[in-house]
Structure 1
Amino acid sequence: MTGTGAKVRILVVDDHAIVREGLAMLIGHERDMTVCGQADGEASALQLLAERAVEIAVVDISLGDDSGLALIKRIRRSHPEVRVIAFSMHPESIYAERVVRAGGYGYVMKSEPPEVLIDAIRQVRAGKVYLSDEMTGFLLNKVVNPKEFQTEGVKNVGVLSDRELEVFQLVGKGVPTKEIAKRLDISVKTVDALRQKMRVKLGLESASELVKFAIEYVHAM
């Protein structure tokens, strides 16, 4: 990591240009930070990480056809020195724990005031993990009272595995099974098996109920 007297070098990864530019302006106003690159997806992000000295990557969870969660895992494997903060519109109750398990150092909702992201960057640079007080309390309570969080069968998307959640979101976007298999580099049979597991975990009676629930979930984001 760069010495504390130097500006922290940040890569912004988001599939919306207006969000990237907004973050670049916000971060650029801070004396101890600079944006050293912007990427709109996994391929461009990994290319910039290979070319530039990046300390912190601010990554959106939804990256068009790409998965921000999968990108965080790849960064952890290929660039372990880079600390990742997820910056997303998705509920932290569903994604924050997944991000930390994937190797991320923080989770900030896009609905938060701008200063929250700036504070998160500073804390992560100092070697800390940044989560909201509410999320920290939730995770601690989950450790202390695990039985309270055994929620299969109550339409709680949090019970899905990372891969199941990827498929669930693509189903909600109306992506056909064959296309899901192609995007995730898995077989159609695997997609069908994952859909069946999701249906059971969520307590849904049929495949059509799963599709309906997935559409409602995605459109509520």
Structure 2
Amino acid sequence: MIRVFIVDDHKMVIEGLELLLQNEAEIEVVGTALNGEDAIQRIPETQADVVLLDINMPGLNGIDTCKKLLKQHPELKVIAISMHKESSLIKLMLSNGAKGYVLKNAGQEDVVKAITKVYEGKSYLDADVNEIVMNSILQQPSKQNSNNFPTLSRREKEVLICILDEFTTQEIADKLNISFGTVETHRRNMLIKTGARNTAGLVRIALEYELHK
């Protein structure tokens, strides 16, 4: 029996994965958590073998959660479950110890195959993720992607420009006519994409690699 622990900040995603896995005779969901901090506390007591881990979570993001989990419990197998398709983010997650990467729109067969493969000590990327990684390897590097930095979305660039202009979160929300929480989500996404630890680091990286252009 493969013991699986699910970490995602959306209950609907957790419930969907539980439903998807409930009829798998060789897989048992032994616990869930809505954030990285709770996952780190709860996973040891469940004796989980495989962790399905979201990347974009408030507080401790998936990359840092993965790093901390594997430092404390190197026997764990981590599979990233994410909507992010940037090759840089995929590589960053894998470089921090994840053995698999599956997009959230993947089917039951892919999720089960990922769990089984990493439990056996192998790596697994679903077909879409594998294509993204391969394309990034084949592309000729330029200044902007020489360190595999991702392309920001139009809205992320708008938020970034406001950050560079020293706007507060509320001022950015007012200027772009979006909510305070949406601004924070965009900021968090950019921190995850670039690997920056805080807003000051994001500003430095943005200027160095001209991510706001």
TM-score by length of 1: 0.68
TM-score by length of 2: 0.71
The alpha-carbon deviation at position 109 of structure 1 amounts to 0.4
Matched, 1:124 2:118: yes
Q: Which moved more, 1:191-200 or 1:82-91?
A: 191-200
Matched, 1:111 2:100: no
Q: Is the 8 A contact 2:36 2:59 kept in 1?
A: no
Measured on the aligned residues, the alpha-carbon RMSD in Å equals 3.4
**Partner residue of 1:201?**
209
The alpha-carbon deviation at position 134 of structure 1 amounts to 5.2
Higher relative contact order (CA 8 A, sep 6+): 2
**Partner residue of 2:183?**
174
36, 43, 49: which is aligned to 1:49?
A: 43
The alpha-carbon deviation at position 111 of structure 1 amounts to 1.4
Return closer, same or farther for 1:128/1:95 CA change in 2, 3 Å cut-off. same
Give the partner amino acid of 1:8: I
Q: Is the 8 A contact 2:9 2:57 kept in 1?
A: yes
The superposition leaves residues 169-194 of structure 1 with CA deviations (integer Å, 9 ceiling, x where unpaired) of x989424xxx98xxxxxxxxx73353
**Partner residue of 1:192?**
200
Say how many residue pairs are matched: 179
Q: Is the 8 A contact 1:123 1:129 kept in 2?
A: yes
**Partner residue of 2:59?**
65
Matched, 1:100 2:94: yes
Partners of 1:60 and 1:23 lie apart in 2 by 12
Q: Which runs of 5+ in 2 are unaligned?
A: 153-159, 164-168, 173-181, 189-197
Return closer, same or farther for 1:133/1:47 CA change in 2, 3 Å cut-off. same
Percent identity of paired positions between Structure 1 and Structure 2 = 28
Matched, 1:28 2:22: yes
The SS at the match of 2:51 is strand
Q: Is the 8 A contact 2:101 2:129 kept in 1?
A: no
Matched, 1:85 2:93: no
Partners of 2:132 and 2:68 lie apart in 1 by 27
The alpha-carbon deviation at position 19 of structure 1 amounts to 1.3
Partners of 1:64 and 1:203 lie apart in 2 by 23
